[in-house]
Chains A and B, each alone.
Chain A
Amino acid sequence: MAVTPLAATEVARADAARAARAMRARHRREVIVQTTVAAIIALIFFSPIVYWFLVSVKPLPYTMTWPPVIFSEPIFDWYQVVILGMDPTIGAKTGVIYSGAAGDYYVIPSLVNSVVIGVLSTIISISLATPSAYALSRFQFRIRNNLITWILSTRMMPPVVAMFPLFWLYTQADQRLFSAIFGKGTSVLYDSLLGVLLVHVVVNLPLSTLLLKSFFDDIPTDLDEAAMVDGCTRWQAFTKVIWHYALPGMAAAAILAFITSWNEFLLTLTVTRTQFRTVPVFGSTFDVSAAGTEWGALAAVSTTAMVPVFIFVLIVQRNLVRGLTMGAIKG
């Protein structure tokens, strides 16, 4: 090579600088493009919720029109009604809000119900599903595959079809069995926490079990054996050692279970009256009212109900993706 060392270094340095600049520029462009795409997608999916929120802070005449009045002085009257349980007839800036379209708009009790039922049923269904999933993963027995198909098929029953049988079961059990045990008029299942929880647990069990099974499939069986060599029974091996390795999977399954429970409507409606109504059941009361739907109240109710799950989603979505990447859907 006839190039002097000095010149070579300079050229190399200049090249490197140029390359670095180009790379930085490319990097910047990539960041901008990729971020923009992600943001646009997110905003498209998020925008109906934003629009819906706007409905709750505007007088109805501004929203039930095209083109809508996007910017107006916000009124938070509906939030006072749904969050603070204030009487809809008072406190409205626009005068008296007409109370004709009836309904109890106070959303907090159902929100609490939804969260409590969601959390408890998730805990129960995951703790029931985990050992079952472990067994399905570790034991080879004759009807194993049939059992798996059966578990999956239970999720396919349209809820409509189970409505009356469930109602019948709950009321009959309460009146004939539990009343005899715990005294007249006891409601152990119908319109009770236990009854709703059981429904939500059952709705979640099939999906959770199958999801978790694939996580256990991923954990080497040598782990079990190691524990058992050391004197653990299989049960102990599972409770002391193995399930820790399935924790990310359990987290993912739990998140999905919570979401399913949060969304469940028809069966909850069937087995509850007033004590344990969840947000969807509460929301359905806005379906029809003779004097026109109270869209403002409904929008306020739904945005209020979205706040806790939004926080929940913000916290868990990383875990969800991470949990799902291990196990269930390995490439």
Chain B
Amino acid sequence: MNERDRQQRLYVAKMAEKLRVGKISRREFIRAAAFAGFGFSSAWYLGGCAPARPTPVETAPKVETPKVDASMGSGSLTPQQQFLKEVGGKFRGTRIKIVSENTSPGLVISKLMKEEFTPLTGIEVDWEIVPLDQVLAKTIQDTVVGATGGKGQSDIYYWDQAWLGRFVNDSIPVDELLAKKDLAYPDYNFDDFLPQLVRDIASYKGTKIGVPFDIPIFIMMYRKDIFEELKLKVPTTMQEYMEVVKAIHEAKSGQGIMGTVGQWKSGHYALQCDATAWMWSHGGAHFDADGRPMYTAEENIEGMRYMMELGNYMDPGVTGWDWGGQGDAFTQGKAGIFISWGEFFPGFDDPSRSKVVGLVEAADCPKEVKLRPREQCGYDETPGISHQGGSCLAISRYAPNPDAAWIFLQWATSADLTARANAQGANVPVRASNYTDPRVLANNKVTPGTTRHFEVTRRAIESRMGTEPHLPQWAALATDVNAVEYGKMTTKQQSIEDTLKAIQEKTEKALQAMREYGVV
């Protein structure tokens, strides 16, 4: 305390003592104490026990409401808009809720939502964006409350393909929704969705539980300029891919351009995606046809060896990078070639963030060394080097407003809207019509939000796509067992064999528990 404070306090203490021994009256004491300060004016202490002053009333902050566009005359509306206005209008004032990850379509759709959907229908949409693992945590919490007899907080769930098994009982099946004729969106045409996506990212054991929404998928992307300079050929086999990576690394790592780049952040789903692609491309898989884990199979070990060899041609920081770090590195021109999410591609041609504008080409992934057929895998696992990380939107079984949510969902995944979103760089080619829509084709050139890679993407989806198994525990196993154990492998704390053995054991244990509950 400073000197002044100290003096004040000494003075007050002295006065207090005088008061105690009866030398001064209480009134005198308080006056003395007040005059001594303590840094606030104090004459009204003498009021002693006067009534309290009223305290200000607290007010809640105002919630913003998006502006409604009143200029929409009914004559100029398309059938879809007419539908939104008439059928959606019945739910005016309803507030529907979604929680999703920060992925490409989100911004575009939430923007269009404010421009079109909400003004026409009067339905408010709360679109909450949180990190992927938080989406999972929140969705689980919501379904637990729902499953134990409460109402959910979400109307629409955003499900990564890896979580489907977990939530299979928590959504209203799409067929049931499509059967609601009074809520049918004009020309919704569910068959327009690519059948592979419906099967692999929106169904569980043949039941359609959601609507395909987003489809990041592994394609091969390489630096055309480096390939020309080093006179390299676009690789078509795994062997060639490795040679190309090595050649680039040897020629260019001195200038800070690594051979390739990965997404190897331990404990993050990205690492599981990377590892799985190499596993599949060498004939491996997670589960055999009887649903037993088969991590320790020779093919899987081969795949991991390949992956670890690639690691020699990456930046050492790679073990701390998720897909964000990987995308950043390639966009900043730090690697020559990689196989990863096609979602990165539109950003490469954006001069405001990229150093490789117009220099990147997309190509089909090299041919797998060996490919295990889908029939020989368990839980609908489909090996294929083009690992997909798609997601679907589903109407919650515990939704407070399922009908309004279904109207929104149809709008958000309609042919028109997905095409517009794609044209704005959202990279959600989930419908066959998206690939031929003139608005999308117009971006087939070097421009921010380019769609130059769509042909490759479509081929990847239709013939090369790899899908992780859909079992209830997969959401947890993929991230919190596999990605953690792979993390120990990529940081060389654990050999390839030990890693796969550890995953094998933990998976078996989890399956055992599921069997006890009759889940599988």
Q: Is the CB of A92 within 8 A of B352?
A: yes
* Chain A residues, CB < 8 A from B308: none
With beta carbons under 8 angstroms apart, the residue of B27, B323, B350 that contacts A288 is B323
Q: How far is A28 from B381 in the complex, measured between Cα atoms in Å? A: 77
* Chain B residues, CB < 8 A from A163: 137
Contact with B along A286-297 (1 / 0, CB 8 A): 111111110110
Q: Is the CB of A98 within 8 A of B150?
A: no
Q: Is the CB of B48 within 8 A of A227?
A: yes
Q: How far is A96 from B357 in the complex, measured between Cα atoms in Å? A: 13
Q: Pick the most buried of B128, B346, B352: most chain A CB atoms within 10 A of its CB.
A: B352
B340 to chain A: closest residue by CB: A290
Q: How far is A223 from B33 in the complex, measured between Cα atoms in Å? A: 9
Question: Does B179 count as interface, using CB distance less than 8 angstroms?
Answer: no
Task: Pick from B37-45, B186-194, B411-419 the stretch touching chain A.
Answer: B37-45
Q: A100-B425, A232-B48, A326-B1 are in contact. Are A293 and B343 (CB under 8 A)?
A: no
Q: How far is A240 from B33 in the complex, measured between Cα atoms in Å? A: 14
- Count of B residues near A, CB < 8 Å? 83
* Chain B residues, CB < 8 A from A269: 130, 134
With both chains docked as a complex, state the minimum distance between the C-beta of B170 and any C-beta of chain A, in angstroms: 15
* Chain A residues, CB < 8 A from B347: 98, 100-101, 291-292
Contact with A along B36-65 (1 / 0, CB 8 A): 001110100101111010000010110110
Contact with B along A213-245 (1 / 0, CB 8 A): 000000010110111011110001001110011
Contact with A along B94-137 (1 / 0, CB 8 A): 00010101111111101100000000000000111111101001
With beta carbons under 8 angstroms apart, the residue of B102, B137, B427 that contacts A285 is B102
Q: Is the CB of B328 within 8 A of A100?
A: no
Beyond A274-B126, A277-B128, 17 additional pairs, beta carbon < 8 A: A61-B332, A61-B353, A61-B354, A95-B350, A95-B351, A99-B107, A100-B350, A102-B108, A112-B61, A163-B137, A171-B145, A222-B16, A230-B48, A288-B131, A290-B344, A292-B324, A292-B331
Q: How far is A269 from B127 in the complex, measured between Cα atoms in Å? A: 14
A185 to chain B: closest residue by CB: B400
Q: Would you list which residues of chain B between 216 and 243 have a CB under 8 Å from chain A?
A: 216
Q: Is the CB of B129 within 8 A of A241?
A: no
Q: How far is A247 from B328 in the complex, measured between Cα atoms in Å? A: 51
Q: A102-B129, A116-B61, A220-B13 are in contact. Are A240 and B48 (CB under 8 A)?
A: yes
Q: Is the CB of B129 within 8 A of A247?
A: no
Q: Would you list which residues of chain A between 272 and 311 have a CB under 8 Å from chain B?
A: 273-275, 277, 281, 284-293, 295-296
Q: Is the CB of B26 within 8 A of A172?
A: no
Q: What are 7 A-B contacts defined by CB distance under 8 Å?
A: A87-B111, A94-B352, A99-B108, A185-B400, A244-B45, A290-B324, A290-B344
Question: Does B388 count as interface, using CB distance less than 8 angstroms?
Answer: no
Question: Does B5 count as interface, using CB distance less than 8 angstroms?
Answer: yes
Question: Does B275 count as interface, using CB distance less than 8 angstroms?
Answer: no
With both chains docked as a complex, state the minimum distance between the C-beta of A239 and any C-beta of chain B, in angstroms: 7
Q: Is the CB of B131 within 8 A of A291?
A: no
With beta carbons under 8 angstroms apart, the residue of A220, A231, A290 that contacts B341 is A290
With both chains docked as a complex, state the minimum distance between the C-beta of B8 and any C-beta of chain A, in angstroms: 10
* Chain B residues, CB < 8 A from A232: 48-49
With beta carbons under 8 angstroms apart, the residue of B5, B45, B63, B324 that contacts A289 is B324
Q: Is the CB of B353 within 8 A of A248?
A: no
Question: Does B19 count as interface, using CB distance less than 8 angstroms?
Answer: yes
Q: Is the CB of B52 within 8 A of A239?
A: yes
With both chains docked as a complex, state the minimum distance between the C-beta of B365 and any C-beta of chain A, in angstroms: 18
* Chain A residues, CB < 8 A from B400: 185
With beta carbons under 8 angstroms apart, the residue of B16, B131, B331, B353 that contacts A287 is B131
Question: Does B424 count as interface, using CB distance less than 8 angstroms?
Answer: yes
Q: Is the CB of A290 within 8 A of B64?
A: no
Q: Is the CB of A167 within 8 A of B141?
A: yes
Q: How far is A288 from B110 in the complex, measured between Cα atoms in Å? A: 18
Q: Is the CB of A290 within 8 A of B129?
A: no
Q: How far is A281 from B102 in the complex, measured between Cα atoms in Å? A: 13
Q: Is the CB of A231 within 8 A of B332?
A: no
Question: Does B29 count as interface, using CB distance less than 8 angstroms?
Answer: yes
Q: Is the CB of A94 within 8 A of B351?
A: yes
Q: Pick the most buried of A185, A273, A286: most chain B CB atoms within 10 A of its CB.
A: A273
With both chains docked as a complex, state the minimum distance between the C-beta of B15 and any C-beta of chain A, in angstroms: 9
Q: Is the CB of B126 within 8 A of A175?
A: no
* Chain A residues, CB < 8 A from B153: 171, 190-191, 273
* Chain A residues, CB < 8 A from B12: 220
Q: Is the CB of B49 within 8 A of A99?
A: no
Question: Does A70 count as interface, using CB distance less than 8 angstroms?
Answer: no
With beta carbons under 8 angstroms apart, the residue of B20, B40, B48, B110 that contacts A104 is B110
* Chain B residues, CB < 8 A from A172: 145, 150
Q: How far is A94 from B357 in the complex, measured between Cα atoms in Å? A: 13
Q: How far is A225 from B50 in the complex, measured between Cα atoms in Å? A: 18
With both chains docked as a complex, state the minimum distance between the C-beta of A331 and any C-beta of chain B, in angstroms: 9
With both chains docked as a complex, state the minimum distance between the C-beta of B394 and any C-beta of chain A, in angstroms: 18
Question: Does A164 count as interface, using CB distance less than 8 angstroms?
Answer: yes
Top-4 shortest CB links A-B: A102-B107, A102-B106, A292-B327, A98-B350
Q: Pick the most buried of B130, B322, B400, B426: most chain A CB atoms within 10 A of its CB.
A: B130
With beta carbons under 8 angstroms apart, the residue of B26, B47, B58, B426 that contacts A102 is B426
Q: How far is A226 from B354 in the complex, measured between Cα atoms in Å? A: 74
Question: Does B449 count as interface, using CB distance less than 8 angstroms?
Answer: yes
Question: Does A103 count as interface, using CB distance less than 8 angstroms?
Answer: yes
Q: Is the CB of B63 within 8 A of A275?
A: yes
Question: Does A198 count as interface, using CB distance less than 8 angstroms?
Answer: no
Q: A103-B107, A273-B128, A273-B153 are in contact. Are A97 and B350 (CB under 8 A)?
A: yes
Question: Does B393 count as interface, using CB distance less than 8 angstroms?
Answer: no
Q: Would you list which residues of chain A between 150 and 182 have a CB under 8 Å from chain B?
A: 163-164, 167-168, 171-172, 175-176
Question: Does B448 count as interface, using CB distance less than 8 angstroms?
Answer: yes
A228 to chain B: closest residue by CB: B26
Q: Is the CB of A100 within 8 A of B427?
A: yes
